[in-house]
């Protein structure tokens, strides 16, 4: 039978409904109860915020200062001056109980573990 006839042909009313396989109930093996300490994952230290210069010439924010989270490619916000970016990053770091890493124009680290002065 052709494909079109199968797709658009008359439906056979004598066909039996398709039965779905029944799921077998899972049987659990009796495990001896032993006292095991639950392993807790080590506490994640909050990631630091980085202030750096955007060097991507294709970006519309080329040569603007940006704030990013450590190990992230996504920029949180761009600023015209480094001082504005540092102020913003300080506020974010204070809320997250972490610190700021400040980069120079060439990308090297100027200050590490920088925290806002109270």
pLDDT (tens, 9 = 90+) of the chain, 118 residues, equals 566 566 666 555 555 556 666 666 665 555 555 555 555 555 677 899 999 999 999 999 999 999 999 999 999 999 999 999 999 999 999 999 999 999 999 999 999 887 766 6
pLDDT tens per residue across span 62-90: 999 999 999 999 999 999 999 999 999 99
- Whole-model pTM: value is 0.60
Rounded distance between C-alpha atoms, residue 65 and residue 117, angstroms: 21
Closest CA to 66 of 52, 80, 49, 56: 52
10 Å CB burial of residue 24 (0-12, 13-18, 19+) is exposed
Of 118, 74, 83, which Cα lies nearest the Cα of 102? 83
The whole-chain average pLDDT of the chain stands at: 80
Nearest residue to 89 via CA among 68, 71, 117: 68
């Amino acid at each position: 039978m052709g494909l079109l006839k199968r797709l658009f042909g008359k439906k056979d009313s004598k066909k039996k409904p398709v039965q779905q396989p029944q799921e077998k109930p899972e049987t659990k093996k009796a495990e001896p109860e032993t006292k095991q300490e639950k392993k807790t994952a080590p506490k994640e230290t909050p990631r630091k915020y980085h202030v750096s210069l955007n060097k991507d010439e294709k970006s519309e924010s080329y040569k603007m200062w940006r704030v990013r989270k450590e190990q992230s490619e996504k920029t949180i916000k761009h600023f015209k001056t480094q001082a504005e970016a540092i102020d913003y990053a300080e506020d974010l770091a204070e809320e997250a109980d972490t610190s700021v890493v400040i980069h120079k124009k060439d990308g090297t680290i100027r200050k590490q573990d920088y925290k806002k002065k109270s």
